[in-house]
Structure 1
Amino acid sequence: MTIPPPPAEDTELPPHTVDAFHRGDFWLVQPRNDGHRAGMDALMLAATVPTAFSGRLADFGAGAGAAGLAVASRCKAAGVLLVELTPEMARFANATLAHPGNAHLTRRASVLVADVGLSGKARAEAGLADASLDFVIMNPPFNPPHHRPTPDALKRQAHVMEDGLFESWIRSAAAMVKPRGGFAIIARPEQLVPILTAMDGRFGKAEIVPVHPREDAAAIRIIIRAVRASRAPLVLCPPLVLHEQNDSFSQRAQDISSGRSALFGD
Structure 2
Amino acid sequence: ATLAHPGNAHLVDRASVLVANVALSGRARTAAGLGDNDFDFVIMNPPFNAAQDRATPERLRKEAHVMEDGLLEGWIRSAAAVVRPRGGLAVIARPEQLGSLLDAIAGRFGDAEMLAVHPRPDAAAIRIIVRATLGARGKLAIRPPLMLHAQTGDGPSERTEMINNGLASLFGD
TM-score under structure 2 normalisation? Answer: 0.88
Match of 2:18?
112
| CA distances 1:168-197 after superposition (whole Å, capped 9, x unpaired) | 110010011111111100000000011011
1:250 matched to 2:157: yes
In percent, how many aligned pairs have the same letter?
A: 59
Distance (whole Å) between structure 2 residues aligned to residue 102 and residue 251 of structure 1: 21
Any gaps of 5 or more consecutive residues in structure 2? none
Q: Residue 32 of structure 2: which of 126, 143, 151 is its match?
A: 126
1:227 matched to 2:133: yes
Match of 1:237?
143
What one-letter code is carried by the residue in structure 1 that aligns with 2:30? Answer: A
Pair 1:256–1:152, CA change in 2 (3 A)? farther
Distance (whole Å) between structure 2 residues aligned to residue 222 and residue 198 of structure 1: 15
Deviation at 1:260, TM superposition (A): 2.2
Distance (whole Å) between structure 1 residues aligned to residue 86 and residue 8 of structure 2: 31
What one-letter code is carried by the residue in structure 1 that aligns with 2:106? Answer: D
Q: Residue 136 of structure 1: which of 42, 50, 71 is its match?
A: 42
1:216 matched to 2:143: no
Pair 1:238–1:117, CA change in 2 (3 A)? same
RMSD (Å), alpha carbons: 2.1
Q: Is the 8 Å Cα contact of residues 117 and 148 (structure 2) preserved in structure 1?
A: yes
Q: How many residues matched? A: 171
1:164 matched to 2:57: no
Q: Is the 8 Å Cα contact of residues 116 and 146 (structure 2) preserved in structure 1?
A: yes
What one-letter code is carried by the residue in structure 2 that aligns with 1:199? Answer: I
SS in 1 for 2:52: coil
Q: Is the 8 Å Cα contact of residues 54 and 66 (structure 2) preserved in structure 1?
A: no
Match of 2:169?
262
Q: Is the 8 Å Cα contact of residues 122 and 151 (structure 2) preserved in structure 1?
A: no
Pair 1:236–1:103, CA change in 2 (3 A)? closer
SS in 1 for 2:152: coil
Deviation at 1:142, TM superposition (A): 1.5
